[in-house]
Amino acid sequence: MKIYPTFFRLAFSWMDAELAHTVGFGLIKLADRTPAGPLLRRFTRPSRELRVQALGLTFPTPFGLAAGFDKNASGTGALMDLGFGHVEIGTVTGRAQPGNPKPRLFRLLEDRALINRMGFNNDGAAKVAERLAKQRARIDRRFPGTRPIVGVNIGKTKKVDLKDAIADYLISAEDLAPLADYLVVNVSSPNTPGLRLLQSVKSLRPLLHHVRQTADAAARRHVPLLVKIAPDLSDDDIAEVAQLVKDMGLDGVVATNTTITRDGLSIDAETVTSMGVGGLSGEPLKERSIDVLKLLRTHLDASVCIISVGGVRDAADVRARLDAGATLVQGYTAFLYEGPFWAHRINKSLAHPSSTVQNTHATRR
Ligand SMILES: Cc1cc2nc3c(=O)[nH]c(=O)nc-3n(C[C@H](O)[C@H](O)[C@H](O)COP(=O)(O)O)c2cc1C
């Protein structure tokens, strides 16, 4: 018997999904402050052979935690103790905002999926930067040598007009780039009205240009810059984004965010409709996420980092993404279903000699 699914059923599945997230994350942070923290860190440390060179950095393992889980950098170090090779915090916006009214997160248990319309609830760039500075100091102390990598994902404040979006992204870039190992411009959440229009190359080019200039100046170094895209873009749009990435010499792409489609679900349509609008994540996203990855890789050579995310459940999924051209892989939704040792299990399985990672798109060390 797997212990976590039983525990999940008994402890979490009856709770509102967002409350379950808050309680679960709270327990992870609590464990981190007890003597269990250092023990956990030793137990979950990824094996050396999983190290990957990407974005000019050494990642302890190709597998990391996607944006949205640790929106405010409130438990970045604690999550790293669970074996994630990188944690992407955020999405952080220029100003603090409460996000959409609750309920805004729904579980689709049979489909191992989630629907969310969180709406970038976060404490705002200034406050998150303060907290991230403390997290960074703690992470440096705890992981001498090769440490897990901190990604920072930035987005647009809801009440800022789309025409003023660049200035809003620049607030976050300025405050957070000095603390980020890499920075992601998120233009693909379905839960901020109009945001996805910024994915058009005409809007994206000036946005990325200004964010890169501001981030590098604020950090006084080159901060690797990536763009996160939606799975709902057409193949032609994806090709255009890839061309832009090449033209601008951008460091990479995160693919993909959640989808607004409701395809591939086994739960009845009425229940899905009753959950309302929002982004769908987890297993039903898997196929499109892999297609987008493959498409991107046909346009981008190995020097461009592709972080593949969407429907990743186990080590076989991670391996399949690496084989299909991903440099790094992330997950979120399956973490809720698989429990705190999810990343550790994936790392262990990846490191097993019979399942060695064949990653031709990153340098292994
Ligand atoms: C509850 C929830 C909140 C999310 N919040 C963000 C976010 O703030 N920024 C972002 O770029 N992606 C966000 N995502 C998307 C994830 O980072 C990821 O791209 C997506 O869920 C697909 O991966 P998965 O199928 O492994 O969950 C969120 C996803 C979920 C489920």
pLDDT tens for each residue of 298-320: 999 999 999 999 999 999 999 99
State mean pLDDT over 128-148: 95
Q: Is the pLDDT of residue 159 over 50?
A: yes
Structure tokens at 145: 């040598």
Tell me what the mean pLDDT of segment 189-200 comes to.
90
Residue length, the chain? 365
Q: pLDDT over 70 for what percent of the chain?
A: 94
pTM of the model: 0.96
Strands 279-282 and 252-255: unpaired
- State mean pLDDT over 27-40: 91
What does the alpha-carbon distance between residue 7 and residue 340 come to, in Å, rounded to a whole number? 12
The predicted structure's pLDDT at residue 232: 97
Confidence tier at 186 by pLDDT (50, 70, 90): very high
Q: 187 CA distance to ligand 1 centroid (A)? A: 13
> Alpha-carbon dihedral of residues 40, 343, 70, 337, nearest 10 degrees?
-110
**What is the mean predicted confidence (pLDDT) over 167-180?**
98
280 Cα–ligand 1 center, Å = 9
Query: pLDDT tens digits, residue range 49-88?
Result: 999 999 999 999 999 999 999 999 999 999 999 999 999 9
| Predicted local distance difference test score (pLDDT) of residue 173 | 98
Report the number of secondary-structure helices (H) and strands (E) in the chain: 13, 14
Cα–Cα dist 36/32, whole Å:
7
Q: 357 falls in which pLDDT band (50, 70, 90)?
A: very low
In the predicted structure, residue 346 carries a pLDDT above the cut 50? yes
Q: Which of 47, 74, 172, 189 is catalytic?
A: 189
> What is the tens place of the pLDDT at every residue in 263-293?
999 999 999 999 999 999 999 999 999 999 9
User: From the CA of 353, how far away is ligand 1's center (Å)?
Assistant: 31
The CA-to-CA distance between both ends of the chain, in Å, stands at: 36
Q: Which atom of ligand 1 is nearest to the CA of 309?
A: 23
Structure tokens at 319: 């391996």
Main-chain dihedrals φ then ψ at residue 19, nearest 5 degrees: -65, -40
Whose Cα sits closest to atom 6 in ligand 1? 68
SS3 string, 29-69, reads HHHHCCCHHHHHHHHHCCCHHHCEEECCEEECCCEEECCCC
Residue closest via CA to ligand 1's atom 4 equals: 68
pLDDT value of residue 34: 92
Q: How far apart are CA 215 and CA 217, in angstroms?
A: 6
Q: Which residue has the higher pLDDT, 148 or 36?
A: 148
Pocket around ligand 1 at a 6 A CB cut-off? 66-68, 71, 90-91, 105, 114, 116, 118, 120, 153, 186, 189, 228, 257-258, 281-282, 285, 309-312, 331-334
Is pLDDT of 361 > 70? Answer: no
Average pLDDT, the chain: 94
Q: Which residue, judged by its Cα, is nearest atom 7 of ligand 1?
A: 68
Residue 65 pairs in a beta bridge with 87, 331
**Which tokens in the block code for residue 249?**
């010499």
Beta strands 57-59 and 363-364, pairing class: unpaired
Residue 2: predicted pLDDT: 66
Beta strand 113-116 with 279-282 is: antiparallel
Q: Report pLDDT for 362.
A: 57
* Statement: residue 353 has pLDDT above 80: no
